[in-house]
Amino acid sequence: MNSLAQLMTPACLLDLAKFRRNCQRMQAVADSEQLTLRPHVKTLKSLQAAEYYAPASGPITVSTLAEAATFASAGYTDILYAVGLSPNKFVQLAAIQRLAPDFTVIADSQAAVNALTDYAGQVEQPLSVMLEVDVDDHRAGLLPESAELVACARALSADPNIYFRGIMTHAGASYDCDTKASQQAMGQQECERIAKAAANLLAAGIPCELVSAGSTPTALAGIKHTGINELRAGVYATFDCVMAGLGVCETSDIALSVLTCVIGHQRDKNWVIVDAGWMALSRDQGTASQQQDCGYGLVCDEHGKLLDGWYVSATNQEHGIISHRDNLTPPESVFGYGRLLRILPIHACATAAQYSKYHVIGDDGNITAIWSRVNGW
């Protein structure tokens, strides 16, 4: 099977040429500043995809222990689990440590540090830990100037069963920065604040091997990432409508799409009904606060050409409703019963999570490979 017409819809497509260009773009940024790139594999969660932008044995970032276990089993050794670790996951942690010697977890409180040091004292392997720093008041992390940051780092550094690797951060607030200037300002803030945290720790006699920062908007903001030595980002590999809405990429750069089929119409409402609902596209509405709300995804023809003004305006579990922003009548030549369309995702990570595999599309528009992905936690 190599033709899109042979696929059961909905199906998740990955444009190989766009995907490779996106990966090369981020790598070029890291190379130009002599920074280590630690790609976040959470978008595609695929060993085959990682071969293009995160070849074994790392470094990589993961968001689930299921990802960590899969990549560790495939030979990746330098893995950062960039989500706070709860005690009920310690059993999984021990198994991954045996496969990946440089598997690293994070903490952002004294309570978490205490739990990790207790755990490390009970197992026979040293545990690598980084501290998360809050640079934008967005989510988790210790403040750069806080006494708790120093206390946590000191406790980790002093423990014979812990290897303190350094500090990391993620400027999640960058997803609200809708101009190049605001993205650059956030990127500079991200670097300055984590560099301040590293300086405070060094002044306390605690050096950081890694000072790691990044988000796709700040990594691609066109600034000098001063004060860090590692760059992290993830959704850049495919991009999505949120990134396009921020101006980080063009819609033509989006490498992921959902193939869907027209199954009906509500002609009095100028609706086109397709077989991709929220189970295929996700419920994410990340562009709702942007200048142009893309609903649940932008509509392309079966070849991937964007159909101007057409978007998925509503979804049910297995139904998607396509409308035009100006309530135009859908042309039968494009939206007739049985016609194939592609939907560009609002949030690529959320859409990709609905699938167990990707149909990789080559330059001729045909399927050249099928890549599997990791699901679950």
Q: What is the mean pLDDT of residues 11-29?
A: 98
Whether the CB-CB separation of 40 and 63 falls below 8 Å is answered with yes
Q: 88 to each of 59, 65, 82, 201, how far by Cα in Å?
A: 26, 12, 17, 30
- The pLDDT of residue 137 is 80
Contacts of 6 (CB under 8 A, 6+ apart): none
CB atoms within 10 A of CB 82: 23
Bridge partners of 306, per DSSP, are 300
- d(CA 299, CA 250) in angstroms, rounded, equals 15
Q: Is the pLDDT of residue 273 over 90?
A: yes
Whether the CB-CB separation of 183 and 251 falls below 8 Å is answered with no
Please spell the DSSP secondary structure of 292-342, one letter per residue. Answer: S--BT-EEEETTS-EEEEEEEEEE-SS-EEEEETT-PPPPHHHH-TT-EEE
Q: Is the pLDDT of residue 1 over 70?
A: no
- d(CA 330, CA 319) in angstroms, rounded, equals 17
pLDDT digits (tens, 9 = 90+) for 101-123: 889 999 999 999 999 999 999 98
Which tokens hold the place of 244? 């396009």
Q: Which of 6, 5, 8 is nearest to 280 (CA)?
A: 8
- The pLDDT of residue 5 is 94
Which tokens hold the place of 162? 């812990």
pLDDT digits (tens, 9 = 90+) for 224-272: 999 999 999 999 999 999 999 999 999 999 999 999 999 999 999 999 9
Q: Angle of helix 65-73 relative to helix 90-99, nearest 10 degrees? A: 20
Whether the CB-CB separation of 191 and 233 falls below 8 Å is answered with no
- The pLDDT of residue 101 is 85
Q: What is the mean pLDDT of residues 309-321?
A: 98
SS3 category, 143: coil
Residue 8 pLDDT class (50, 70, 90 cuts):
very high
Percent of the chain with pLDDT over 90: 94
Return left, alpha or beta for 303; rule: phi > 0 is left, psi -120 to 50 is alpha, else beta: alpha
- d(CA 229, CA 274) in angstroms, rounded, equals 47
Q: Is the pLDDT of residue 138 over 90?
A: no
CB atoms within 10 A of CB 160: 9
Bridge partners of 37, per DSSP, are 231
- The pLDDT of residue 348 is 98
Sheet bearing 230-233, strands edge to edge: 36-39, 230-233, 210-213, 162-168, 127-132, 104-107, 79-81, 60-62
Q: What are the start and end residues of each CATH 2.40.37.20 domain in the chain?
A: 4-11+255-372
Residue in the structure block whose two tokens are 């922003």: 325
3-state helix, strand, coil in the chain (%, to 5): 35, 25, 40
- The pLDDT of residue 55 is 85
Which tokens hold the place of 147? 């006494």
Average model confidence (pLDDT) across the chain: 96
Residue 58 pLDDT class (50, 70, 90 cuts):
confident
Residue 172 pLDDT class (50, 70, 90 cuts):
confident
Q: Which of 186, 183, 176, 77 is nearest to 135 (CA)?
A: 186
Spell out the CATH class of 33-237: alpha beta
Please spell the DSSP secondary structure of 77-117, one letter per residue. Answer: --EEE-SPPPGGGHHHHHHHHHH-TT-EEEE-SHHHHHHHH
Percent of the chain with pLDDT over 70: 100
R_g (Cα) of the chain, nearest Å: 22
Contacts of 347 (CB under 8 A, 6+ apart): 235, 240, 241, 242, 282, 284, 286
Q: Which of 343, 365, 322 is nearest to 9 (CA)?
A: 343
- The pLDDT of residue 2 is 87
Query: What superfamily would CATH give domain 4-11+255-372?
Result: D-serine dehydratase-like domain (2.40.37.20)
Q: Is the pLDDT of residue 140 over 90?
A: no
Task: Give the pTM.
Answer: 0.96
Whether the CB-CB separation of 56 and 38 falls below 8 Å is answered with no
Which tokens hold the place of 248? 């980080």
Bridge partners of 310, per DSSP, are 324
Q: What are the start and end residues of each CATH 3.20.20.10 domain in the chain?
A: 33-237
